[in-house]
Amino acid sequence: METIDLYTKCLQASISPIVLISGVGLILLSLTNRLGRTIDRTRTFAATLESEPPEKKERRLIQMKILYRRSQLLQISMIAITFSIACSSFIVPVIFFMTLFDAPIGILQVSLLFFSIIGIIVSAITLLIEVTLALKALNHEVKDLV
């Protein structure tokens, strides 16, 4: 009966990091889609660049530079969110060892959670900067039309 209680306690403690991994995984999926769109858009611009008139070519080059910077920011955001997933994933075995062996490694669990949250914050900040650059690129594209 005591082993069942031990496993139940371990499973209960492991649920929060697993839910965190699931939520952060959705953010990673969104970032991957945004990166794919910037790459596709850059390739489209590069393919049509030679046939553009000089005044439109300059605007396309500006947009391509912005798209490249956006891609770099998305890469940083994806690295940070993947780091968060890794830290959250390591929390589960730490909880298991703490529960199973009654090991005093709670500081490791708290540290991993702290680093996981830092990864989410860094990812969110770089995503906010990337969205701002997306609006800047849109401004370059429509400023002559409005």
pLDDT digits (tens, 9 = 90+) for 21-67: 888 999 999 999 999 999 999 999 888 888 888 888 888 888 889 99
Burial 48-74 (b: 16+ CB within 10 A, else e): eeeeeeeeeeeebeebbebbebbbebb
Helices (H), the chain: 2-48, 54-101, 106-142
88-102 residue pLDDT tens: 999 888 888 887 777
Distances (CA, A) of 112 to 11, 87, 131: 18, 5, 29
Distance between CA 115 and CA 82 in Å, rounded?
A: 11
Quick one: CA dihedral 107, 108, 111, 112, positive or negative? Answer: negative
Residue 96: domain span: 2-142
Give the Cβ contact number of residue 111 at 10 Å: 15
C-alpha–C-alpha distance, residues 33 and 86, integer Å: 21
Domain count, the chain: 1
